[in-house]
Chain A
Amino acid sequence: MNIHVDTTDQPLDAAAALEFCAAPGHGAVDLFIGRVRDFNQGKPVLGVSYDLHEALCRNVFRELAEETVAQWGSDIRLWLTHRHGRLDIGEASVIAAASSPHRNEAFRACRQLVEQMKHRAPIWKQEHYTDGDSEWVQGHALCSHG
């Protein structure tokens, strides 16, 4: 199996992603870590709560990974995990990794996985601000009805 996808409420493990994306013939591995930052849209942020639809999210992750393999080659290896629950500043919310024999495929596959995840995976975030307010962040619509 060259694809690993998951969701979890536990801290994410970048070392596990790198270990999974290791193969004797792979000279390139690209690792992306999305972390909670302390400022967004002009407001200081204390932390972020992530909500996700676990079953559908895993199905969508797998679909995205399969599309990425189809695009960049059946010999690539892919890792995609997303955390849910309340995260503090600096904690990793998502880890994506891709490995391949050469760097171009690894870079592009990793980027495709992350960009598609942001547009298609059923995940939502609620930012918590220093003034005590909280807001659900606007996102990308999954529907296209009139």
Chain B
Amino acid sequence: MDNAATRVREVRINLFGGFRQFHDEPAISLEIEPAATVATLRRRIAELFDEDVKARELLKASAFATDQRVLGEDDRIPADQDLALLPPVCGG
């Protein structure tokens, strides 16, 4: 069966703050299943940083968000939107 409900799609995750030092590009692109959640995405990104303890530690403390809101671990990855990976914040 090949329809939108089962098709793998690409999601772009923009990097901010301290994550910029762990990746040469400003974003990561990954292929994910339609039913993928934030927790799935977190595991996939952890695999990318398998050799980098500091990056994995920062990932554990980081949140995923759309332009509108911070997502929870069980939230599905929204379609047709870039995501952002947000390390702990410190404005001011």
Question: Is A52 engaged at the interface, CB distance under 8 Å to the other chain?
Answer: yes
Knowing A143-B62, A145-B39, say if A59 contacts B91 (CB, 8 Å).
no
Taking beta carbons and an 8 Å cutoff, which residues of B are in contact with A? 14, 16-18, 20-21, 39, 42, 61-70, 72-73, 84, 86-92
Q: Bound complex: CA of A143 vs CA of B39, how far in Å?
A: 12
How many residues of chain A have a CB within 8 Å of chain B?
Answer: 31
- State the Cβ distance, A141 to closest chain B Cβ, in Å: 5
Partner of A94, one of B68, B86, B88, B92: B92
- A138 on interface, CB distance cutoff 8 Å: yes
A123 touches B84 (CB 8 A): no
- In the complex, what residues of B have CB within 8 A of residue A143's CB? 61-64, 70, 73
CB atoms of A53 and B65 under 8 A apart: yes
Q: Which 6 A-B pairs have the closest CB atoms?
A: A124-B17, A123-B91, A139-B90, A143-B63, A136-B18, A139-B88
